[in-house]
Amino acid sequence: MSLANPLPSFLEPLPGPAAAAVDTDASADAVWPLPLERTVSYGAGTAAAPDAIVRAGAELERYDEELDVPIDWNVVVLKAYDERGITVETCLEKIEKDARHHYRKHPFVLALGGEHTVTIPLVRAAADVFGPVGVLHIDAHADLRSQYQGQSLSHACVMHHVRTVTPDTVSVGVRSLSVPEAARLREERIPVVWAKDVACAPDDVWIDRVLENLPERVYVTIDLDGFDPSVIPGVGTPEPGGLLWYPVLRLLRRVAACRRVVGADIVEGVPLPGAPVTEFAAARLALKLMVYRRTA
């Protein structure tokens, strides 16, 4: 697969006429590389994640063993976002405008970060195009600060901004938060499924709790540090005791089956030299979300 092609396929293109039509195929799902890296607070390198995930995606097979179905549609890779030389504010405005266009064109757009800040314009655009949305937020962190290190448009403030777009948010996998964030969760009764509760759960009743708090249309944002570092080692701010692979898949499958997933992102990955686990897991996760949506 050549990344020089303006719109290559995330997987191998389908054989036959579809292969030639990949870059104009409006029936194709899309992944959208957003290598934004401005406000990361500890480990750098998330700007390299979208390209690494797309390259890993090219290695994936066109068959889903869990659902026993072929993956018989194309997944185009949209033009990577170029953030050089502009302010964060301008970046996010441009992403919002482009997202509206992409959401109208493709059945499903999955953005690949880059830092979590990109979720702010993506949720705004989704609410604009599809109508009111709830947000399923998978993350080790609450991300509810109004400011972090003097910045408001920071990856640590994502859910603060998202909650100005919609009050319907559910956070899953949280295990790191500040005193004010803990107070805010209580005061605003923001639904949280803690990582410790998923780890100890004897069944999937926690998934019912997630669904109870989500409206008909849902945007899914996945900070890869929501996973346990044994599953996804490459993140900027790793926390032990995170979500394991199959519980997250069960969650995403139920949400895709019971709600309309209108958009999603996978953010904050940091490719590690010599250990491609992070980008392969992220690529598989992206494909799983697309398969769950298509077969719902």
Residues lying near Mn ion in the complex (CB under 5 A): 139-141, 223, 225
Alpha helices in 10-165 (DSSP H): 17-20, 49-57, 88-105, 119-130, 158-165
CA distance 242 to 74: 32
Minimum distance, C-beta of residue 270 to Mn ion, in the bound complex (Å): 12
Choose between 11 and 195: whose C-beta lies nearer to Mn ion.
Answer: 195
Choose between 152 and 295: whose C-beta lies nearer to Mn ion.
Answer: 152
Alpha carbon separation from 81 to 32, 37, 52, 91, 138 (Å, rounded): 8, 12, 15, 9, 23
Backbone phi, psi, residue 129, to 5°: -85, -40
Choose between 18 and 48: whose C-beta lies nearer to Mn ion.
Answer: 48
Minimum distance, C-beta of residue 143 to Mn ion, in the bound complex (Å): 6
Could you give the 3-state DSSP secondary structure of residue 66?
A: coil
CA distance 263 to 188: 25
CA distance 192 to 207: 11
Minimum distance, C-beta of residue 176 to Mn ion, in the bound complex (Å): 8
Choose between 185 and 296: whose C-beta lies nearer to Mn ion.
Answer: 185
Minimum distance, C-beta of residue 194 to Mn ion, in the bound complex (Å): 14
- Consecutive H or E run containing 41: none
CA distance 154 to 145: 9
What is the distance between the terminal CA atoms of the chain, rounded to a whole angstrom? 29
Return the closest-CA partner of residue 177 out of 200, 203, 159, 153.
159
Determine the distance from the C-alpha atom of residue 215 to the mean position of all C-alpha atoms in its chain, rounded to a whole number.
Answer: 18
Structure tokens at 290: 């697309």
Choose between 222 and 291: whose C-beta lies nearer to Mn ion.
Answer: 222
Minimum distance, C-beta of residue 174 to Mn ion, in the bound complex (Å): 9
Could you give the 3-state DSSP secondary structure of residue 171?
A: strand
Choose between 155 and 217: whose C-beta lies nearer to Mn ion.
Answer: 155
Minimum distance, C-beta of residue 99 to Mn ion, in the bound complex (Å): 21
Q: What angle do CA 39, 89, 135 make, to 5 degrees?
A: 75
Choose between 139 and 279: whose C-beta lies nearer to Mn ion.
Answer: 139
Choose between 71 and 140: whose C-beta lies nearer to Mn ion.
Answer: 140
CA distance 99 to 128: 10
Minimum distance, C-beta of residue 266 to Mn ion, in the bound complex (Å): 12
